[in-house]
Amino acid sequence: MLADTHVHLNSPEFAGDLEDVLARARAVHVERFLCAGYDLESSRRAVDLAARHSGVVASAGVHPHDARTWNDGVEAAIDGWLASGKAVAAGEMGLDYYYDHSPRDQQRAVLRSQLRLARRHGVPAVVHNRDSDDDMVVILEEEAGGLRLVLHAFTGAPVLAALGRRMGFYFGIGGFLTFKGHALAACVAELPRESLLLETDSPYLAPHPKRGRRNEPAYVPHIATRLAELLGTTADEVANLTTANFERFLGHR
């Protein structure tokens, strides 16, 4: 059994064929899904999807692109979903200095607020980072000690690899791993095996040989196969390893 540990089933791009998307995933043994919220309404949709679909769990949070939308009402809604167990993780949260859709000081403040929500409720945190390594390291060192936390869409950045190993974080391994010459392939074998999670970030970042298409959870096996090659093991062993890691990330073990 495989798990897609970061997928936006709540994206409008899946509104017309979600049942088919899930069926295609299950046909290739992808049976667990963490549907990640990225703003208030997408978090609400994630919670609703988790309630209606077997194998789907939700995270609730505000992406750095939308940090400018953070207010007491948004925080209260996310707090409520985490408190009730309707959302099992906080996020997608983080920093994104590539697009800067929200002011950087606001991104940093909202990331800290969401990490504190994760700590308050004893749930894992799902963290996005792009072109913001230095500030990310400072905030995670100050706020994330002892948290179950995944560095989502990990790219192989050495400073974050070192931080993640030191702080016991998980690494979200996605389509980047299959891209020719990508830095992630050079470092993934050096990461602790118990820290590896498979993810698609669907509908984005489709792996080779599906690159350029809408991504979907059925493509997880392409990532698993490439990871198995780099670790010198089998795809079945990678499936068992990463699914067990996902259960532990969720706090089930």
**Rounded to 5°, angle at Cα 117 from 115 and 121:** 120
- Residue 252 Cα to chain centre, angstroms: 17
pLDDT at position 13, please?
97
For the chain, give the mean pLDDT.
98
Is pLDDT at 58 greater than 70 in this prediction? yes
% of the chain residues with pLDDT over 90:
100
pLDDT at position 253, please?
64
pLDDT digits (tens, 9 = 90+) for 208-230: 999 999 999 999 999 999 999 99
- The candidate with the shortest Cα–Cα distance to 174, out of 149, 194, 147, 203, is 203
> Looking up tokens 């046909």, which residue turns up?
27
| Alpha-helical segments (H) within 37-157 | 40-52, 72-84, 104-121, 133-143
Domains for the chain: give ranges and CATH numbers.
Answer: 2-250 (3.20.20.140)
